[in-house]
Structure 1
Amino acid sequence: MSQPTPDAADRHAWIDVDALTRRSEPLAGSFALTRLARVLAGAPELPGVAQGIIHWQVRAEWRDPSPAVAAAEYALAGGRRVAAPRQLWLHLWVEGAIPLVCQRCLEPYWQPLTVDRWFRFVPDEATAEAQDQGCEEDLLVLDGPRYHLLGLVEEELVLAAPLVPRHDVCPRPIPLAAGDALGAAAPDDAPAASQRPNPFGALAALKSGRV
C-alpha cells in the first residue's frame, strides 16, 4: 500500500508507528463519519450524518515474544537456541455511532459501537498468512514506517456492526400477524389447535411402527 505525504486534511489518517512507540501516552483524535465510505455504504439517511464523529485512541509498544513464538523460532532453527525478535503491538480503541436500519421495524437508527482490540504487526503478507493459521492474535501487515489508521478504524467499525441490526426497543408498535402472541383471533377457516396434525406425534408413530 502506498503511503502518501500527509496534509492538514489527512492529519492522523496515517500514523508513524515508530514515533508512536516512543510516546509516553496514547495518541487520540477523531474522524468525521463522512470520511468512512465503507461504513456509510448502503447506510440510511439520518439527520446528523454530516456531523457524525468517530473518536479513536491508539498506542504502540514493543513486547518480548510469547512462549509459543519462541518455541516456533527454536524449531525453525533446528533446535538451536536463537533470540526471537521482539514484537510490535498496537492497541486500538474506537467509539462512535453509525446509521443502520432495524431489521425488526425497518426504521433507521443510530447504532453505538465500541472497538477495543490489540494487534500484532508482521512485516509482510507472507508472514501474516504463515502465522495466521496457528495463532490467536490479530495480525496487521506493516510494510513501511507508517500505518493507515483511517482504514483500520473503518474496517473495525464494519466488523463491529451487528449482523442483524435491531433497536433495543423499537420506537413504534410492530404490526402482528393474525393469531400472533398478543391474543389476536385466528382466521375462521384456520383449524383449531386440537385438530392440527402434530408433526412430532407423526414422527413418534413412524418410529414405533404404527404408521
Structure 2
Amino acid sequence: MKQRQFDPLKLDVEAFARDAGELQGEWSMVELPRLAESASEESPAASWPPLRWSVRGERLSPRAAEPQTWLHLEAEATVTLVCQRCLQPYAQHLAVQRSLRFVRDEDMAAQLDADSDEDVLAMSRSLDLRELIEDELLLELPLVPRHEECPEPLVHADHDLPEPAQDEKPHPFAALAALKGKGRPQ
C-alpha cells in the first residue's frame, strides 16, 4: 500500500496520527516572521542556521476510553538575540520536545487542558505545522536575553555621570531638621 503524502503546512492531524505518519525537514528562519522579529540588527534572521524539525503522529486506543490522537514534535534552532546586560548580540540555542494531544473540539480541549498536565489542542484538518513550531520556539525564548558571561567588562553608569553640582539653595527640609534639633534636651 502506498503511504499517503502529508503537507506540513496543511496537516490533517487525524489522518496523520491514524497512519502513524512521520515528517521531518528544515525551514529557513525568515519563514518564521514572529521569531525573526527577535533578531538583533547585527545578525538578521536570514543569516541564522535553518530550523530543524521532526513530527510523528500516534493514535492510542486505551481500554474503555475513546481513542487518543497525539503529535510528538521536536525542533531545534539557533537565534541571535541582544544581551540585556552588555547590549551585544549572542547566539541562543532553542530546543523543543513536546507531545500534543488533539481532541474533537475547543470546549473539550479547554476542559482537558485545565484538568491535566498534558498539552491539549482542538483537532484540525489543516494544521500549519510551521506556525505551531514557531509558537513553541517563541515560548522557549528567554524572558531576559543575556550571555552566561558577557565577553566585555560591563561599564557601570555611575562612573560616567558627572559629579552633582553644589547648589547655593538650602535643602527644603534643612529648616525642619534644625527645628527638630532645637527642641531636644542636651
Q: Which TM bucket (shorter chain)?
A: 0.7 to 0.9
Task: Give the alignment partner of residue 28 of structure 1, picking from 5, 24, 31.
Answer: 24
Provide the residue aligned with 1:147 in structure 2.
127
Give SS of 1:15's match. coil
Counterpart of 1:63 in structure 2: which amino acid?
A: L
Task: Give the alignment partner of residue 63 of structure 1, picking from 60, 65, 68.
Answer: 60
Question: Contact 1:14 / 1:150 at 8 angstroms: preserved in 2?
Answer: no
Question: Contact 1:46 / 1:109 at 8 angstroms: preserved in 2?
Answer: no
- Alpha-carbon offset, residue 13 of structure 1: 2.2
| Alpha carbons of structure 1 residues 109 and 14: separation in structure 2 relative to 1, 3 Å | farther
| Alpha carbons of structure 1 residues 25 and 90: separation in structure 2 relative to 1, 3 Å | closer
Task: Give the alignment partner of residue 83 of structure 2, picking from 102, 107, 112.
Answer: 102
Quick check: 1:123 aligned with 2:120? no
Counterpart of 2:106 in structure 1: which amino acid?
A: E
- Alpha-carbon offset, residue 45 of structure 1: 1.9
Counterpart of 1:130 in structure 2: which amino acid?
A: Q
Task: Give the alignment partner of residue 170 of structure 1, picking from 144, 150, 153.
Answer: 150
Question: Contact 1:40 / 1:99 at 8 angstroms: preserved in 2?
Answer: no
Give SS of 1:162's match. coil
Give, in whole Å, the separation in 2 of the partners of 1:23 and 1:128: 23
Task: Give the alignment partner of residue 140 of structure 2, picking from 160, 163, 168.
Answer: 160
Question: Contact 1:101 / 1:109 at 8 angstroms: preserved in 2?
Answer: yes
> Mean Cα displacement is larger for which, 123-132 or 28-37?
123-132
| Alpha carbons of structure 1 residues 125 and 162: separation in structure 2 relative to 1, 3 Å | same
Tell me, which stretches of 5 or more residues in structure 2 are unaligned?
1-6, 160-186
- Normalised to the residue count of structure 1, the TM-score between the two structures is 0.64
Give, in whole Å, the separation in 1 of the partners of 2:109 and 2:21: 28
Question: Contact 2:17 / 2:70 at 8 angstroms: preserved in 1?
Answer: no
1:35-74 aligned within 5 A: 35-47=31-43, 49-52=45-48, 53-65=50-62
| Alpha carbons of structure 1 residues 110 and 23: separation in structure 2 relative to 1, 3 Å | farther
Give SS of 1:61's match. strand
- Normalised to the residue count of structure 2, the TM-score between the two structures is 0.72
Q: Which aligned runs of 4 or more in structure 1 are off by greater than 6 angstroms?
A: none
Same amino acid, percent of matched pairs: 41
Counterpart of 1:45 in structure 2: which amino acid?
A: E
Larger Rg: 2
Counterpart of 2:8 in structure 1: which amino acid?
A: H
| Alpha carbons of structure 1 residues 171 and 14: separation in structure 2 relative to 1, 3 Å | farther
| Alpha carbons of structure 1 residues 88 and 25: separation in structure 2 relative to 1, 3 Å | closer
Counterpart of 2:135 in structure 1: which amino acid?
A: E
